[in-house]
A and B are shown apart, each in its own frame.
Chain A
């Protein structure tokens, strides 16, 4: 158990809808990262927050947004969903803001139908 909790584990929704994925980092970790894993794109970095502030941004679509709350949990919001958004979404956390070991949650499997 990595100590990172993601909910829900599975999500099935229709095109055009909006969903929110939630992540609770390991106790004490200030950085939260979001990654998307799909068969064609592999593991892609989406965004990082450190202690409530955006720290780094990857190829995150404009339809996607994230935030980190004062209690350090994070949410990833995906809107106007398309079939191609179907993927595994991972949250990870680490203690520092740069380049340390990351601890991954079990992921949320999103299926857009």
Chain B
């Protein structure tokens, strides 16, 4: 399977703490994206990082990309109960059209 891997599978933290999720993939990418999914609902795009970028910020989100290790991390700072959701990384690969390969996701629970 081409699917990437994410860890941890589940993460439980207190409000105000930082949450870090990791993603690894297998083949060269064009870009890597992070999505959020609230229970059983549609996915919401969070951030896109291109293969020639190493770090990107958006509000409380920080994404890093290490193409030599084929890995990425998503950091959510000062987490809130409303951040409780599943987070997925998705990779876009050359010559694959717009097909995204999703990881298995990290289930984040932020306790008030």
State the A residues within 8 Å of B (CB). Answer: 2, 4, 31, 33, 35, 42-45, 48, 50, 55-56, 58, 88, 90, 92, 94, 96-107, 109
Most chain A C-beta atoms within 10 Å of own C-beta, residue among B31, B99, B104: B99
Check if A106 sits within 8 Å of B31, measured CB to CB: no
Q: Which residue of A lies closest to B88 (CB)?
A: A43
Q: Which residues of B contact A104 (CB under 8 A)?
A: 35, 42-45
B108 to chain A, nearest CB (A): 17
Ordered by A's residue number, 8 sampled pairs between the chains whose C-beta atoms are within 8 Å are A42-B102, A45-B99, A90-B42, A92-B43, A98-B30, A98-B97, A99-B92, A103-B45
Check if A99 sits within 8 Å of B30, measured CB to CB: yes
B84 to chain A, nearest CB (A): 18
**Which of B98, B101, B103, B105 lies in contact with A33, CB distance below 8 A?**
B98
Q: Which residues of A contact B43 (CB under 8 A)?
A: 43, 90, 92, 102, 104
Main secondary structure of the interface of B (DSSP, over half): strand
Q: Which residues of B contact A88 (CB under 8 A)?
A: 40
The verdict on B69 contacting chain A, using a C-beta distance below 8 Å, is no
Q: Which residue of B lies closest to A56 (CB)?
A: B97
Q: Which residues of A contact B48 (CB under 8 A)?
A: 100-101
Q: Which residue of B lies closest to A98 (CB)?
A: B98
Check if B105 sits within 8 Å of A105, measured CB to CB: no
- C-alpha spacing A48/B92, complex, angstroms: 13
Check if B33 sits within 8 Å of A48, measured CB to CB: no
Given A42-B104, A98-B92, A101-B33, A106 and B99 contact (CB-CB distance below 8 Å)? no
